[in-house]
Structures are given as structure tokens and as C-alpha cells.
Amino acid sequence: MLTTAVSAAPPPHVRRIQDRRALVELADELERAAPKALALALLLEDAEEHPRDARRDPRRARPAALALAAAGLPAAVIDGDALADLAPLQPLLAGDAPPYVVTDDAHTVMGVLARRGLEIPRVGCTRVAATLLAEGADGRRDDRELAPLVAEHLGRELPGGLRQGLVGRALAPAAPSIAAAHADALLPLMKALTPRLRELRLARIFELECSLIPAVLAMEDAGIAVDARALQRLIDAWREERRSASDPARIARLDKLISTLGYWPRDWVDLDGRIRCRLFPLATDSGRFACQSPNLQQVPAEHTAPGVRGCFIAPPGRRLVIADYAQIELRVAAHIAGCRALRQVFVDGRDVHRATAATLARRPEAEVSDHERKLAKAINFGFLFGMGARRFREYASASYGLELDLGAAERARDAFFSTFPGIAAWHRKVGNLAGRGKTEDVVVHTLLGRRKRFLAGHFSFNSALNIPVQGTAAEGFKLAMIDLHPALAALGGRGILCVHDEYIAEVPEDRAEEARALIQGTMEAAMGRVIPSVPVVAEAHVAGSWAEK
């Protein structure tokens, strides 16, 4: 689906609709009247009802668009700015699209085609290519910034009409139609970009990102079922508590919860009782997903705000499968750094936190106390990416409630690096990347080839450690998502959310255990292909809500 919105004076072919229910009714009407019509739904915000919500978010119109698509109608809810350029969309929506689509925005176009039941064997997406070639560019950055980068890789100026619209969500205004763009501009452009992708060893990650798009679209469309009334009760309770609260820290926390979640039941729960976020697979330097509207990747965990995750539920007859990787960043780092000691911990199936605790306490792993293990956990996560002893004190206090003096923090640091000398060597190696020279850009990359460029003088040691590890983990996870998309569908299930190393699926009750095993196995196998020298462990369980362990 495209996007949304509001226009003061819509063209005559646009129906003005007042609310979501009316849009669904329109879908029925259109199905009877004109099965091939282009239905353009325009959702108007109610300024009275949503005073703080001038955002005009596209998701508000999505249920209507989905209803239209479900009725087999070519539906588009398009951005106000694009209304004038509706003509280019007509051939696509009327079914003229070629089976091999080269497009600026595969996310949108494939969504439209998929909902019309069209198979698309392959998509070459110039936007995916452009983002990867930009070496760390924001996937949502302005077209005017991306276009010169693409031109640079081409070694020539972009074709005139594509300079503005090439990599944007909006289709190129200068292109007379999708089909024409396919023939005249985008296909040759993709052909020209392909050698650059190969040269920079980006071909594999390009393939991955293109293959991932259908799974992401399906996840966005699925959404997650919410007990909106239970969530509202929680919010009401926070508001009530806020009135008499006196502890400043408690007040701050309540204010944060209320301001962030307070309007979710009203603003984000669709007619079918589900919340749908938007997922951006190419928006971050590391390759992780960005998530917004709302950001379901930062729903408070049980220890922060008990009960919130319990409102995210499996509907009747279905179950959730919640899966995540165990210590994935440590495992990826063990592989990338080639640290024998750290690798061996995982090969032996030992507890990595006990291993560090044992060094610190100078006792065998079996004899470390709970407190020592807790400290070691902070140590392992903190020092892996180059944290200093001073910062570690704050971190251990804030995240683990552990108070240390500077000497203890330094001993902790020493214990970490003497337990895992390969990690120390890796840190030295990365530290040397930006050595004396200082006049050259530095590029780091993930195992599948995603690149992150530090411009001369802007090298960050910590980022250079973190991005390849975080990014490689993200890539293994994305591979799993690609595999799981058809495999779960075969069971009557579907992925509904991903949170960096956590995958949530909704499956039929009677196949829950089967799905659980499938998800766990698929996640382990996919990541295992990326970091073959280290065993990968994923944990998965069946639950009725997101809060259940």
C-alpha cells in the first residue's frame, strides 16, 4: 500500500471519507459496483478528536486499504502530495505490471502486487541498492542526498527524470508510468548498479534485502493482537497513581509511560483489534530494523512496567511462539574476533557469564556465586564493545544495581580481557584502523558485506567494534525471517513482530509445538550459516501473551 492523507481539495475521483468504518463500507460498495475500479480512499483526520495528532500517519488508513485489497480491488491510499501524480499508478494497479519488476520502492510496489495475488519471481530494487551503496546511509534519508551518491557509483549523472524520484517513496513524477520507468530508466539503472554492488561485495546483502521484503510486508500487515481494554485499564491505573505519587523517580517513569503509551488504544488499535507498526529494514547503519508508528520494539518489558506485554495476546484458537537468540552478540563477536577462549565456551555449552566470573573470583566456574555471575554478565556486555572502566561503573550501577569503586571496575575489565584474550586482540586491531594517517576514510563491514563508512576524522572506535557485530547478528536474523515466511505459512502461521533478536509468530493452537520447533531450528540454522565457527542457540516457547515466559 502506499501512504495516506489529507488534502484540502481532492480531485474528483477521490472520495472523501470521514472514518475507518466508512472506508470499509466503501470497499463493499465498490466490490459490487466496479471490481476493476481504482478506489482511492482518503482518510480525514478529525482535528477535534485528535488534537495532538497532526501527524496524519499512513497507518490510519491501512485497514481500509486492506479491506479493499481483500475484496480483490486495486486499492491505494496515497499521499496528499502525490495526488497530482496519480496517473503513473494506473497501469500498475490495473494489472499491467511486468512479472519482473524493477522499481524504486519494492516495499510499496510488491505490497500492491502481492495483495493482488501476483507472483513476483525477483525484484531488483534501486532503492535497496542505493542505500547499500551509500555505506551507512539512512534508508529514509532524503532523495536529494541519495541521488548524488548513486550518480557517483554510476560514474555519470542520473537520467534527468529520475534525479528526484529515483530512490524516494514517491514515484518519479517525470516518469510517465511504472511500465515506462521500467523500460526506459530503472532497468538500465539497475543493470548499471549491479557491477558496483559486485565490486563492493554487496551483492549478497543486496539479494538478502530484496528477498526479505515480502516477509517484512507480511509482518506489517499481520500486526499483533491487543487486549485494548486491558491496556486502557493499565493506563488509567497509571494516571490514577500519578495524581498522588510523590517519589520523583516514580513520577518520571509514570509520565514517560503515560505520554508514550497513553494514546495507543485510541490511535493505534485497528478495527480488527490489532496494532500494526511500520518496519524499516534499511533505515539503520547496522542493518537492524527501525520500527515506528508505533514503535513496538520498545514496548516496556515486565521489569519496567508489569502488565504491558501481557496485553499483547494470541487471539482465540491461536498461540504465540516467542523465540530469541541466546547471547547472540557474544557469539557473533567470538566468531568475528576469532577468540578461541570465547568460542570454546560456546562449543562446550558452558555459561559465558560463569566463565568470566571464575576468572574474576579465581575459582572454578561451578563455584561462582549468583552475585559474581551477575557482575560478570555486566562485564561481558559492557566491555565487549570497548567501554571504559569509568563508564562501566555507571553502567553496572544503572543496569544491574552494582556499586563498584574505580579499582574494582578496572579489575573487572582486566578479568574480562584475560579471560578472552582474542577479544583484546580484536580491539587492538580495530583501534589501529584509524591510526596515525587520519586522512583516509575507514570502512568496516559485516560478514555478509554490509558496509559502514567513517569519513576521515570521524572514526568511532566503539562503533567500529559494534556495527559489524550488531549488523552480522541482524543479517543472520533476517535470513531466518526469509526462511520462516513460507515455512510458517505452510503451518497456517505467520510472523507478527521482530525485535532485533526476538521473533514472534502467531500460529494455530493445534500446531503450536510444531511451529515452535520449526522456528527454533530455522533461527539456529540461519544464523549458523553466518557464524559457522560458533554454535548458535535459540530459545522458543509457546505462550498466550507476550509476557508469558
Partner DNA sequence: ATGGTAGATAGC
Partner DNA sequence: GAATGCTATCTACCAT
Instruction: Name which of residues 470 to 489 contact DNA (CB under 7 A).
Output: 470
Does residue number 7 form part of the binding site for DNA (CB under 7 A)?
A: no
On whether the CB atoms of residues 400 and 392 are closer than 8 A, the answer is no
Does residue number 301 form part of the binding site for DNA (CB under 7 A)?
A: yes
On whether the CB atoms of residues 78 and 32 are closer than 8 A, the answer is no
Q: CB-wise, 212 or 442, nearer to DNA?
A: 442
Does residue number 288 form part of the binding site for DNA (CB under 7 A)?
A: yes
Does residue number 431 form part of the binding site for DNA (CB under 7 A)?
A: yes
Q: How far is the CB of 374 from DNA (least distance, A)?
A: 16
Does residue number 327 form part of the binding site for DNA (CB under 7 A)?
A: no
Which residues, 6 or more positions from 12, have their beta carbon under 8 angstroms from its beta carbon? Answer: none
One-letter-per-residue 3-state SS of 167-184: CCCCCCCCCCCHHHHHHH
Cα of first residue to Cα of last residue in the chain, in angstroms, is: 35
On whether the CB atoms of residues 323 and 525 are closer than 8 A, the answer is no
Which residues, 6 or more positions from 463, have their beta carbon under 8 angstroms from its beta carbon? Answer: 285, 452, 454
Residue in the structure block whose three cell numbers are 510499496: 108
Q: CB-wise, 284 or 472, nearer to DNA?
A: 284
Does residue number 458 form part of the binding site for DNA (CB under 7 A)?
A: no
Q: Which amino acid type is present at position 321?
A: V
What number of residues does the chain have?
549
Q: CB-wise, 126 or 286, nearer to DNA?
A: 286
Phi first, then psi: give them for residue 524, nearest 5 degrees. Answer: -65, -45
Q: How far apart are CA 424 and CA 384, in angstroms?
A: 9
Q: How far is the CB of 511 from DNA (least distance, A)?
A: 26
- Taking CB under 7 A as the criterion, the residue among 204, 253, 374, 511 binding DNA is 253
| Listed ranges 81-89, 286-294, 344-352, 519-527: which one lies at the site for DNA (CB under 7 A) | 286-294
Binding characters for DNA, 211-250, by CB under 7 A (x = yes): ----------------------------------------
Does residue number 8 form part of the binding site for DNA (CB under 7 A)?
A: no
DSSP state of 301: P
Query: Pick from 130, 195, 206: which is nearest to 168 by CA?
Result: 130
Alpha helices in 278-405 (DSSP H): 328-337, 340-347, 352-361, 370-384, 389-400
Q: How far apart are CA 100 and CA 123, in angstroms?
A: 6
Q: CB-wise, 338 or 431, nearer to DNA?
A: 431
On whether the CB atoms of residues 323 and 500 are closer than 8 A, the answer is no
- Taking CB under 7 A as the criterion, the residue among 3, 131, 286, 356 binding DNA is 286
Q: Which three cell numbers stand for residue 456?
A: 576521515
Does residue number 291 form part of the binding site for DNA (CB under 7 A)?
A: yes
| Listed ranges 17-25, 369-377, 457-465, 488-496: which one lies at the site for DNA (CB under 7 A) | 457-465
Instruction: Name which of residues 398 to 427 contact DNA (CB under 7 A).
Output: 427
Instruction: Name which of residues 342 to 371 contact DNA (CB under 7 A).
Output: none
Does residue number 160 form part of the binding site for DNA (CB under 7 A)?
A: no
| Listed ranges 119-127, 163-171, 198-206, 277-285: which one lies at the site for DNA (CB under 7 A) | 277-285
Interface with DNA (CB under 7 A), residue total: 54
Instruction: Name which of residues 98 to 127 contact DNA (CB under 7 A).
Output: none
Q: CB-wise, 120 or 209, nearer to DNA?
A: 209
Q: How far apart are CA 43 and CA 5, in angstroms?
A: 6
Q: CB-wise, 304 or 418, nearer to DNA?
A: 304
On whether the CB atoms of residues 466 and 330 are closer than 8 A, the answer is no
Q: How far apart are CA 367 and CA 387, in angstroms?
A: 27
Q: Which three cell numbers stand for residue 108?
A: 510499496
- Taking CB under 7 A as the criterion, the residue among 103, 284, 327, 472 binding DNA is 284
Q: How far apart are CA 522 and CA 532, in angstroms?
A: 15
Does residue number 91 form part of the binding site for DNA (CB under 7 A)?
A: no
Instruction: Name which of residues 384 to 403 contact DNA (CB under 7 A).
Output: 384-392, 395
Q: CB-wise, 418 or 462, nearer to DNA?
A: 462
Residues near DNA (CB under 7 A) are 54, 138, 252-253, 255-256, 259-260, 280, 283-286, 288, 290-295, 297-301, 303-305, 324, 381-382, 384-392, 395, 427, 431, 460-463, 466-467, 470, 499-502
